[in-house]
Amino acid sequence: MFVIVNKETNRLHREPTRKSYRSVSYKSLAAAKAGVTRTVKYYQKAIEDVRQTVADGNPDYQSRYYYDARDATSEPSEYGRGCDMRLVADGSGLEIMTEEEYGDPQVTRTGRSPYNGNEITVTIGINEVGTHMDPLCESHYTR
């Protein structure tokens, strides 16, 4: 099994057109390469749609792909993004590796628990930070 990894953040990459319930792993190297190609084509389509919307005389934000095109063309720190999405949009920021090579990177964080306000230290997988599996995230306690 193969996965696509964002080189800058070391997190698993999910294709923008892929359903949220679908797995992020691929059965073959060719399928993973096709996933990178689909990602690049999606962002090219988004940028082109925004250009066409502006050429038609409408504001850029009226394009349905406005936010994706903005992420693909903006500076890394702009709009609060943690990584340079331009590298993901052109495919150079993505890397294909096997699930064994990728392993399960862990991150240790310290913060205040939204449940009771106590300071806690947790070690969780890098891909679970900010999800309902993260004890430092409020949605962990509301599910």
Q: Which residues contact 50 (CB under 8 A, 6 or more apart)?
A: 60, 63, 65, 66, 69
30: exposed, middle or buried (Cβ count in 10 Å: 0-12, 13-18, 19+): exposed
Q: Which residues contact 44 (CB under 8 A, 6 or more apart)?
A: 89
Estimate the crossing angle of helix 66-73 against helix 29-55, to 10 degrees. Answer: 110
Q: Write down the pLDDT at residue 45.
A: 92
3-state secondary structure (DSSP) of residue 12: strand
User: Which pTM does this prediction carry?
Assistant: 0.74
What's the average model confidence in pLDDT over 25-54? Answer: 91
Give the CA dihedral 80, 82, 87, 91, nearest 10 degrees. -110
Query: Rounded to whole angstroms, how far apart are CA atoms 37 and 96?
Result: 12
Q: Write down the pLDDT at residue 126.
A: 85
Q: Are strands 106-112 and 25-26 parallel, antiparallel or unpaired?
A: unpaired
User: Is the Cβ–Cβ distance between 46 and 64 less than 8 Å?
Assistant: no
pLDDT class of 114 with cuts at 50, 70, 90: confident
Share above pLDDT 70 across residues of the chain, in percent, rounded to a whole number: 89
pLDDT class of 142 with cuts at 50, 70, 90: low
pLDDT class of 48 with cuts at 50, 70, 90: very high
Query: Rounded to whole angstroms, how far apart are CA atoms 12 and 77?
Result: 20
What's the average model confidence in pLDDT over 42-68? Answer: 90
Query: Rounded to whole angstroms, how far apart are CA atoms 79 and 93?
Result: 19
Share above pLDDT 90 across residues of the chain, in percent, rounded to a whole number: 26
Q: Write down the pLDDT at residue 11.
A: 84
pLDDT class of 129 with cuts at 50, 70, 90: confident
Of 4-13, 57-66, 85-94, 118-127, give the lowest mean pLDDT range: 85-94
